[in-house]
C-alpha cells in the first residue's frame, strides 16, 4: 500500500534486505503471534531508519511502475501501486499509534521531523506525472479491463485522488502545494502536542475540606492522583475527562468548579509556549490557499466533494435545521436549572461552569437518578464482557484473551476475535485508562487492515484506546454511563475494521459515513435486555434493578438540548473556519466569539470544543466534525431496522454485516445503506431519539 497522508494504516511484515540492520525489528519478519508488531523490541531509535528505508523502497517500487514499458493495466499499475510501500506502512502504523497512546520526548521529536518528510513523500507520489499518466490511461480505458465493482470503485477514487491533490496543476502551483502540505503537517503535530502539554501541566490540588459533595469514588480517584503526582495526602483534579466532569457534576465548591472549567476551556489559549491561536490561524489560512490553488471555492468544498454531503450547503442545511430545534430545548433546560438555584436562595446567573452541577440536580429532581447511583453496576470488566456477549449474539463471534503476545502498552489487553466456527478473524487490543503520555479522548485504529497480499488473506489487527476512570483505593474501575456508551462506540469502529473484506489495502470510506458503525453500536448499551446482561453490582453481583433501568430509559431525553447545542456549536464553528475563501486571515479568538454570538449560542453553554484545543479540526476532521450528526441520522434510522424485528435479529445483523461492515470503503456509501435498509434514511428517528420533535 502506498501512503497518501498517512490515514488508514496497514501493517505487513517485511522481509530482510541485504542492507537492513538486523537489530531493527521492522527489517525482518515479526515472528509473533498473529504477526502483530513486536512492541517490546521497538525503540525510538528504530523509527527514523525504518521510515527512511521505507520511503526509499517505496520510491523504487513507484519508479518500477512508471518505467514499465508494457501498456498500463489495472494489474501492473493500480494493483502494483496498492502493494507498494509495505515497510513504510508498517512503521507508520506503529509509530503514529504510539505517538497518540504512549508518546515520549523522543517520539514527539521524531514526529516533528518525520511529518513534513511524509507529507513530501506523499506529494512525490500524487504529483508524479509519469505515475499519473499511467493511472489516467487505465482510467480512460477502464471499460476494456472487465473490472469487478470493487476494482472500478478503487480505480475511480484513485484517479480522482490524484486530480484532487494537484496532479493537473502546473509546476509552479505544485511546488506551492508541496510547501503548504509540509507546513500543515508540522502545524498539525505541534497543535496536538501543545494540547497534551497544556492538559498535563494543570493540577488542582485540594485539601479535605474542599471535597464537599464529591462521591466516594471520585474522592478515591483524586487521592490516587495525589499519590501519583507527589501530593500524598491531598486530592488532585486535572483537565482529563474522568477527573474534570465528575468534579463539575458533584462539587459544591462553585469557585473551584469555575477554576477547573476555565483551565479546561483555556487550553492552548494562555499566551505561553503552548498557545495554539497562531497555529490554527495559519492552518485555516493555508487550507484556504490550497483549496484556491486546486480550483475549489473553499477548503470545505474541497473536503466534502468525495463525501456523502458533497457541498457545504448540505451540511449547513442539516446543522441549521437541528440548531433551530435544539436551541429552544437548551434554553428551557437552562431556565429549569436557574429555577433550582433561585429556590436554593442564590441570585447569581447560571454560568457554563455551573451546568453539570445543576443538570445533575435537575436529573435527580425529574427522574430520581444520578450517575453515581449507576456506577456500581458498571464495573469495567463486566461492561467489557457484556459487550462481547452482545457481539456474539449479533454476529456469532467470540473474543478470547491472548496470553504471551506483544502489547502496545503494559496496560493494554489483547483478544483473538473468531467466527462461530472457530476460524480466525483478527486481533483486538483494548487500552482503557488515562496517562500523561496519552492524548485525551477515545479512538479506534488499526495496525493492519484486511486485504489480500500475494494471494493470501491478511487479517486485521485493531486497537481501541480510551481514557476511562481508573480504579481508586479499594474500588475497581467503575464507569459512568457516558463511558459505557463510549466503549460501545469505539467497539463499533473495531468491528467495522475486523469485518471488512477489502481485497486491497487502499480503501475509500466516506468520512461522514465512518461514524455509522460506531454510533449504531451505542444503541445496545442502554437497551433493558442488554443492561441485564452486564450491569451487575460490583460488590453483590446483583443485576441492575428494574427501577434503575426504567429511570435510565425515562431520562433518555434529559439534557439533550445542551448536548445537541454544544456539539452543533463546534460543528458550525468548524464549518465557518473552513468556508472562508482565500485569503483567510483571521484572529482566532475574535472569530470564534463573533461567530458563536452570530448563530445565537446562549451564554450558559460553550462550544463543546473551543478552537485552541479542538483536536478534530487540527487534523483529520477539518470541515468534518459534522460527520457525527450526519451519521446520527443514519444510525438512528438503522437501529429502527433492528427494533422492528428484535435487537438481536440474526437476519438484520447478517444483512448489516454483509452490506455495510464488509463493504465499507469499497463501494458508494449511500448504495451500501440502500442495500441494507431498502430505502434512504429519514431524520425522524434522530429527532425522536433526542426529544427534538415539535410538541
From the list 198, 490, 515, 527, the catalytic residue is: 490
| Contact assessment for residue 447 and residue 481, using Cβ atoms and an 8 Å cutoff | no
Report the alpha-carbon distance of residue 392 to residue 428 in Å, rounded.
15
| Contact assessment for residue 262 and residue 256, using Cβ atoms and an 8 Å cutoff | no
| Contact assessment for residue 608 and residue 569, using Cβ atoms and an 8 Å cutoff | yes
Report the alpha-carbon distance of residue 194 to residue 174 in Å, rounded.
30
Q: Which of 411, 417, 515 is nearest to 467 (CA)?
A: 411
Radius of gyration of the chain (CA): 25
**Pairing between strand 235-237 and 204-206?**
antiparallel
| Contact assessment for residue 1 and residue 14, using Cβ atoms and an 8 Å cutoff | no
Cite the DSSP H helix spans in 272-413.
277-293, 299-304, 312-343, 355-367, 371-374, 380-395
Report the alpha-carbon distance of residue 635 to residue 643 in Å, rounded.
12
Report the alpha-carbon distance of residue 588 to residue 567 in Å, rounded.
19
CA-based angle 575:579:581, to the nearest 5?
Answer: 160
**Pairing between strand 398-401 and 413-418?**
antiparallel
Is residue 451 within a helix (H) or strand (E), and if so which, with residue range?
strand 451-453
Assess whether 124 carries a catalytic annotation.
Answer: no
Assign 3-state DSSP to the chain and report helix, strand, coil percentages, each to 5. 60, 5, 35
The contacts of residue 453 (CB under 8 Å, 6+ apart) are 12, 83
Joined together, the cell numbers standing for residue 260 give 477547573
Asked if the bond preceding 583 is cis, omega within 30° of 0, the reply is: yes
Joined together, the cell numbers standing for residue 679 give 430505502
Report the alpha-carbon distance of residue 408 to residue 40 in Å, rounded.
8
| Contact assessment for residue 582 and residue 627, using Cβ atoms and an 8 Å cutoff | no
Joined together, the cell numbers standing for residue 318 give 442539516
Report the alpha-carbon distance of residue 380 to residue 386 in Å, rounded.
10
**Residue 143 burial (C-beta neighbours within 10 Å; 0-12, 13-18, 19+):** exposed
102-to-51, 438, 569 alpha-carbon distances in Å? 19, 5, 31
The contacts of residue 404 (CB under 8 Å, 6+ apart) are 33
Q: Which residues are catalytic?
A: 490
Amino acid at each position: 500500500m502506498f501512503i497518501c497522508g498517512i490515514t488508514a494504516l496497514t501493517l505487513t511484515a517485511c522481509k530482510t534486505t541485504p542492507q537492513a540492520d538486523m537489530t531493527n525489528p521492522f527489517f525482518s519478519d515479526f515472528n509473533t503471534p498473529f504477526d502483530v508488531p513486536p512492541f517490546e523490541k521497538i525503540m525510538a531509535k528504530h523509527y527514523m531508519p525504518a521510515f527512511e528505508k521505507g520511503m526509499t523502497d517505496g520510491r523504487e517500487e513507484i519508479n518500477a511502475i512508471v518505467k514499465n514499458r508494457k501498456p498500463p493495466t489495472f494489474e501492473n499499475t493500480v494493483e502494483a501501486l496498492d502493494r507498494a510501500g509495505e515497510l513504510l506502512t508498517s512503521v507508520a502504523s506503529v509509530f503514529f499509534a504510539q505517538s497518540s497512546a504512549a508518546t515520549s520526548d523522543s517520539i514527539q521529536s521524531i514526529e516533528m521531523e518525520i511529518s513534513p518528510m511524509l507529507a513530501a513523500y506523499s506529494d512525490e507520489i500524487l504529483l508524479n506525472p509519469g505515475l499519473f499518466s499511467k493511472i489516467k490511461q487505465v482510467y480512460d480505458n477502464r471499460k476494456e479491463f472487465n473490472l469487478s465493482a470493487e476494482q472500478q470503485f478503487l480505480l475511480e477514487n484513485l484517479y480522482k485522488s490524484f486530480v484532487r491533490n494537484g496532479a493537473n496543476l502546473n509546476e509552479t502551483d505544485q511546488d506551492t502545494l508541496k510547501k503548504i502540505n509540509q507546513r500543515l503537517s508540522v502545524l498539525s503535530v505541534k497543535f496536538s502536542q501543545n494540547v497534551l502539554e497544556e492538559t498535563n501541566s494543570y493540577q488542582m490540588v485540594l485539601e479535605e475540606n474542599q471535597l464537599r459533595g464529591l462521591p466516594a469514588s471520585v474522592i478515591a480517584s483524586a487521592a490516587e492522583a495525589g499519590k501519583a503526582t507527589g501530593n500524598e495526602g491531598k486530592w488532585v483534579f486535572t483537565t482529563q475527562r474522568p477527573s474534570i466532569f465528575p468534579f463539575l457534576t458533584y462539587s459544591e465548591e462553585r469557585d473551584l468548579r469555575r477554576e477547573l472549567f476555565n483551565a479546561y476551556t483555556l487550553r492552548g489559549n494562555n499566551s505561553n509556549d503552548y498557545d495554539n491561536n497562531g497555529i490554527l490561524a495559519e492552518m485555516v489560512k493555508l487550507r484556504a490557499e490550497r483549496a484556491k490553488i486546486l480550483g475549489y471555492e473553499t477548503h470545505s468544498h474541497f473536503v466534502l466533494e468525495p463525501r456523502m454531503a458533497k457541498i457545504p450547503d448540505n451540511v449547513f442545511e442539516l446543522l441549521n435545521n437541528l440548531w433551530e430545534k435544539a436551541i429552544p430545548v437548551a434554553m428551557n433546560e437552562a431556565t429549569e436549572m436557574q429555577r433550582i438555584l433561585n429556590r436554593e436562595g442564590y441570585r447569581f446567573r447560571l454560568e457554563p461552569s455551573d451546568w453539570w452541577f445543576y443538570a445533575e440536580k435537575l436529573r435527580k429532581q425529574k427522574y430520581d437518578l444520578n450517575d453515581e447511583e449507576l456506577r456500581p453496576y458498571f464495573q469495567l470488566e463486566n461492561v467489557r464482557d457484556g459487550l462481547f456477549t452482545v457481539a456474539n449474539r449479533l454476529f456469532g463471534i467470540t473474543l478470547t484473551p491472548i496470553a504471551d503476545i506483544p502489547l502496545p502498552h503494559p496496560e493494554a489487553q489483547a483478544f483473538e476475535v473468531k467466527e462461530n466456527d472457530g476460524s480466525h478473524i483478527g486481533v483486538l487490543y483494548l487500552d482503557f485508562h488515562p496517562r500523561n503520555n496519552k492524548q485525551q479522548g477515545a479512538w479506534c485504529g488499526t495496525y493492519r487492515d484486511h486485504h489480500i497480499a500475494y494471494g493470501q488473506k491478511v487479517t486485521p489487527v485493531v486497537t481501541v484506546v480510551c481514557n476511562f476512570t481508573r480504579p481508586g483505593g479499594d474500588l475497581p474501575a467503575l464507569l459512568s454511563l457516558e463511558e459505557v456508551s463510549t466503549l460501545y462506540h469505539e467497539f463499533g469502529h473495531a468491528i467495522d475494521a475486523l469485518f471488512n473484506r477489502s481485497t486491497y489495502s487502499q480503501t475509500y470510506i466516506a468520512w461522514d459515513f465512518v461514524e455509522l458503525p460506531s454510533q449504531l453500536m451505542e444503541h445496545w448499551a442502554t437497551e433493558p435486555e442488554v443492561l441485564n446482561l452486564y450491569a451487575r453490582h460490583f460488590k453483590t453481583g446483583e443485576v441492575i434493578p428494574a427501577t434503575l433501568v426504567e429511570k435510565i430509559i425515562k431520562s433518555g431525553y434529559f439534557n439533550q438540548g445542551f448536548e445537541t447545542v454544544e456539539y452543533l456549536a463546534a460543528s458550525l464553528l468548524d464549518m465557518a473556519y473552513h468556508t472562508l475563501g482565500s485569503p483567510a486571515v483571521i484572529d482566532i479568538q475574535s472569530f470564534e466569539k463573533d461567530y458563536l454570538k452570530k448563530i445565537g449560542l446562549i451564554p450558559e453553554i460553550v462550544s463543546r470544543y473551543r478552537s485552541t484545543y479542538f483536536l478534530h479540526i487540527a487534523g483529520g476532521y477539518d470541515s468534518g466534525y459534522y460527520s457525527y450528526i450526519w451519521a446520527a441520522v443514519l444510525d438512528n434510522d438503522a437501529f429502527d431496522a433492528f427494533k422492528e424485528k428484535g435487537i438481536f435479529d440474526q437476519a438484520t445483523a447478517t444483512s448489516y454485516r454483509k452490506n455495510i461492515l464488509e463493504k465499507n470503503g469499497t463501494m458508494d456509501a449511500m448504495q451500501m445503506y440502500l442495500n441494507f435498509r431498502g430505502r434512504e434514511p429519514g431524520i425522524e428517528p434522530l429527532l425522536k431519539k433526542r426529544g427534538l420533535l415539535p410538541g
